[in-house]
Amino acid sequence: MTAQILTQARLRELFYYDPATGIFTRKLDRQCVKKGQIAGSPNEFGYLKIGIGKKVYSAHRLAWLYLYGEIPEGVEIDHINRNKSDNRIANLRLVTHQQNMENQKTHVTNKSGYKGVSWWAPTQKWKAQIGHQGKKYHIGLYQTKEEAKAAYEERAQQIRTHHSKETV
């Protein structure tokens, strides 16, 4: 017996998706869930998951399938605002794995509180660096972490602007 692939048509039979709120609502009564009930619960990483049949799906992937009918091969769906439970269609975009990695939040071990900014003990200054397409780039050394943050943000904006021109 082969596993059935979830289609847009089947998803629309089971749920209503509101693109403005990102919420899935059940259309049918099933065992212990009722019609009209909001679907999904967060997993340990903060992504909303929805069970359909014997399989569990990420709500952001279902949102894309619901509206566009498929998820193209070789791409991921990124939460633009980094909120993993915000599945509004305006907050979702198709990206490469590398682009998805570049849109991550600051790491929990980050001492500066700013993405791309760290203390560089040998110079007693704040270092700004950025990762792009699998490489790290040194931006500069600064007296304050706020100056380093501003330099990081300026460089990140340059990369975003350059990247958006490439994809047009």
Residues 29 and 70 both lie in one domain? yes
Task: Give the pLDDT mean for 104-124.
Answer: 77
Confidence of residue 108 (pLDDT cuts 50, 70, 90): low
The parent domain of residue 131 ranges over: 106-167
Confidence of residue 43 (pLDDT cuts 50, 70, 90): very high
Residue 101 counted as domain residue: no
Residue 22 counted as domain residue: yes
Percentage of the chain with pLDDT > 90? 46
Structurally, the chain folds into a number of domains equal to: 2
Cβ pair 140, 122 in contact under 8 A: no
What's this model's pTM, rounded to 2 decimal places?
A: 0.65
Residue 44 counted as domain residue: yes
Give residues with Cβ within 8 angstroms of 121, minimum separation 6: none
What burial class does residue 32 get, using C-beta atoms within 10 Å of its C-beta: 0-12 exposed, 13-18 middle, 19+ buried?
A: exposed
Residues 24 and 70 both lie in one domain? yes
Measuring CA to CA, how many Å separate 103 from each of 29, 36, 115?
A: 38, 34, 10
Average pLDDT, the chain: 85
pLDDT of residue 1: 46
Distance from C-alpha of 19 to C-alpha of 90, rounded to nearest angstrom = 8
Residue 23 counted as domain residue: yes
